[in-house]
Structure 1
Amino acid sequence: MALLEFEKKLKEIKLNINDLKKRSLETGIDFSKEIKELEIVLYKMAKEKYTNMTAWDRVLIARKMERPTALDYINNIFQDFIEFHGDRFYGDDSSIVGGIAKFNNVPVTIIAHQKGKNTKENILRNFGMPKAEGYRKALRLMKQAEKFKRPVICFVDTPGAFCGIEAEERGQGEAIARNLFEMSKLKTPIISIVIGEGGSGGALALAVADEVWMLENSIYSILSPEGFASILYKDSNKAKQAAEDMKITSKDLLKLEVIDRIIKEPLGGAHNDLENMCENINKNLREAISRLKREPIDMLLKQRYFKFRKIGNVIE
């Protein structure tokens, strides 16, 4: 059963449960047995489906409008976040948010792709697709973090960098390349977490890190399955097949050693339990930041270099 059809069926069962609860309150009749039976059916169905998803199912979950955005995680995991604006060359780009915060009393720099939660917000955030000034703002914050020895935490969630004329006019390609170059030798720990879509160089520009993590239902790829299908199969309708062939899921990429760990999501996706999802990320960050801060910086840079050389060899 396709994911959308399955989720429609789950909603129907939930409505039946809510209806029985309402009728129980109104009539005084005890429907607890029926409610419990439906809840058991609901749980078993959800567990079976969500533990046996196709790559395309995960693409659909990663793209869900209700999926938590970077600011949801920033506001729930970190303390005293202060957002910075502008690249000091052209202007500000609201599809990249960044600034300083505290994490368990440790000062950190946070940089993230930011999508909207509705059409109006997505237009403001350019659907999470940064332009050149967004990547230059990110680099400015990275260099500031290096100066003050703050760990850098990146949240990656973009279909890809914006490919409009104005982005190219302002040096989109150079801005992304500069980030890759500077991140490879940045003298402070970097952790990047793919929280939704990790598309192409637009994602990689925030993901040259000591550790790259993915949420369980996120995706990370050279381009969208639709784009891949159009180029290789000459048919964008074969996106489902492309998603399987591209190895874009967290499980595939961990096996290929492109990423370092998978952060488990609540059943059905991060949007079903933001508090639990934040706690999972928090727990992993506590361990990793403590460990990376103890590493001598020369060793950290050497390990980062060999990490991406190894990934390059896997891709080749």
Structure 2
Amino acid sequence: MEYLEFELPIKELEEQLDKCQIIGKESDVDVTETCKQIEKKLIETKTDIYKNLSPWQRVMLSRHPNRPYTLDYIKALCGDTFLELHGDRNVKDDKAMIGGLGKIGDQSFMFIGQQKGFNTKTRQLRNFGMSNPEGYRKALRLMKSAEKFGIPVVTLIDTPGAYPGLEAEERGQGEAIARNILEMTRLKVPIITVIIGEGASGGALGIGVGDRVLMLENTWYSVISPESCSSILWRSWEYKEQAAEALKLTATDMKKQKLVDEIVKEPLGGAHTDRQQTFIIVKDAILKSFKELKNLSPKDLVKKRMTKYENMGVYKD
């Protein structure tokens, strides 16, 4: 188990609890009451810490190395029914963007999402979750296939941004993202978007236009990362915590600004502390959203989606 800096008090208590339990097993000393006191203190400490997280601490949680990624969710939701589809039929298969058909219960969905790696080799393979233009074109190809067969789309967002390399720009990174945004606004099947980790810039928006946009509690969604914002404004990454506060990037901020539709609660401590419970919560949220959308006609679906996005940013003096 890896601990973030602000989680060190929890680490100390958990180590004390482990030692207490070992003493109880290896000796005749009754440590039941002591263990109960430590457990009570542990719960209180966890509740206090996670109830008062700063925006930067939530950013750190969204990047936790043990946090489940897109394929973890898909495998948990679909089991053996998931069939991954590859390639954009133009350049190549982008490993940072994955997609394919899968079932939750008896309902088929087209799943699309960014995939990060869990060690050095897989991080390089997945390009750290940063898609090239062919990744977004693959996503659009799969969405169009889903539309053709009347299959709802689920997108899972977890990216530090689209790949900013020269070769990506040469192959039309900006156009690919813009095309996806345009096509998603008028796709004639339900689109359910779930932000499961980082939601940065156009890299997230390229698969982020949805009838329902759900955001896990300890994730972030913004035009720029706190570090990049800090380096632009202050010429240093030292002000990343201040930038995170100013960007209003947390789930609570996004819901308040009506940029997402629902905040999905995570287990105490984050999605990585109880993966199975997280998968169940996300599955229920997806099915609930689909139930609200499945009876709408394609015309009404597109009209409501367009109205939703047209109303964003509207304010009165």
TM-score w.r.t. the length of structure 1 is: 0.96
User: Is 2:292 the counterpart of 1:296?
Assistant: no
Partner of 1:214 in structure 2? 215
User: Matched residues in 1 for 2:73 and 2:268: separation?
Assistant: 18
Q: Which residue of 2 aligns with 1:163?
A: 164
| 3-state SS of 2:311 partner | helix
Describe how 1:158-197 pairs up with structure 2 within 5 A: 158-197=159-198
Measure the CA separation in 1 of the matches of 2:28 and 2:125. 50
- Whole-Å Cα distance in 2 between the matches of residues 4 and 215 of structure 1? 19
Match of 1:232?
Answer: 233
Structure 2 portions without partners, runs of 5+: none
Aligned length: 312
In structure 2, the residue matched to 1:248 is 249
Q: Displacement of 1:28 after TM fit?
A: 3.0
Cα drift, residue 232 of structure 1 = 2.7
Match of 1:91 in 2: 92
- Structure 2 residue identity aligned to 1:113: Q
Paired AA for residue 21 in structure 2 = K
Aligned AA (1:226): E
RMSD of aligned alpha carbons: 1.2
Report the AA paired with residue 172 of structure 1. Q
Q: CA deviation at 1:5?
A: 3.4
In structure 2, the residue matched to 1:31 is: 31
Q: Which runs of 5+ in 1 are unaligned?
A: none
Contact 1:200 1:222 in 2 (8 A): yes
Q: 1:310 maps to what in 2?
A: 311
Shift of 1:109: 0.2
Report the counterpart of residue 266 of structure 1 in structure 2.
267
Deviations 1:184-236 (CA, angstroms, capped at 9, x unpaired): 10110001000000000000011111111100000000010111122233433
Aligned to 1:281: 282
What letter corresponds to residue 310 of structure 1 in structure 2? N
Partner of 2:66: 66
Structure 1 runs (4+) deviating above 6 angstroms are none
Give the aligned partner of residue 121 of structure 2: 120
Q: CA deviation at 1:312?
A: 4.1
Q: Percent identity?
A: 45
**Do 1:65 and 1:118's aligned partners in 2 also have CA atoms closer than 8 Å?**
no
2:199: which partner in 1? Answer: 198
**More divergent stretch after superposition (76-85 vs 42-51):** 76-85
- Distance (whole Å) between structure 1 residues aligned to residue 313 and residue 89 of structure 2: 33
- Aligned counterpart, 1:22: 22
